[in-house]
Structure 1
């Protein structure tokens, strides 16, 4: 089922329970506090936070190092539902 609203919570890490390959394949953009962000690793609209990757640094398990920020999260599909 395809919807025009991205999931409330989405992660780019396949090991996360919030990973959604179909949504990611469609292309999800995120505005955080009104600013377009291209380094979002995970977000939650209802709780109002994003996890942003910090540079190219990896933790000891090989995952990106992230920082969690609170604020208004606006996800959207980049393809505008066309396709």
Structure 2
């Protein structure tokens, strides 16, 4: 398997950007130099991450998220 990470990745199985095999290996995200553990989705080229917004839910019962902009650096956890 290649160590190249995708430009965009989501933990939601309904998303077209979901990759279960890659998520099983473990992905870490550095956002503006700080490691984030609650990232739901990220896009490196557009420079944003989505994080959970507390315990708030939308009308379909899905977790509500916030989009934060900044420098994104994804990495594989199984290397460390």
| TM-score under structure 1 length normalisation | 0.89
**Residue 4 of structure 1 contacts residue 80 of structure 1 at CA under 8 Å; is this kept in 2?**
no
* In 1, Cα distance between equivalents of 2:54 and 2:4: 29
Cα displacement string for residues 18-66 of structure 1 (whole angstroms, at most 9, x for unaligned residues): 0110111111010100110011000000111100112232222122110
Counterpart position of 1:61: 60
Runs (4+) of structure 1 exceeding 4 A deviation are: none
Q: Comparing both structures, which one devotes a greater share of its residues to helix? A: 2
Matched, 1:74 2:77: no
Aligned length: 80
Counterpart position of 2:23: 24
Could you tell me which runs of 5 or more consecutive residues in structure 1 were left unpaired when the two chains were aligned. Answer: none
| TM-score under structure 2 length normalisation | 0.92
Could you tell me which runs of 5 or more consecutive residues in structure 2 were left unpaired when the two chains were aligned. Answer: none
CA RMSD in angstroms comes to 1.3
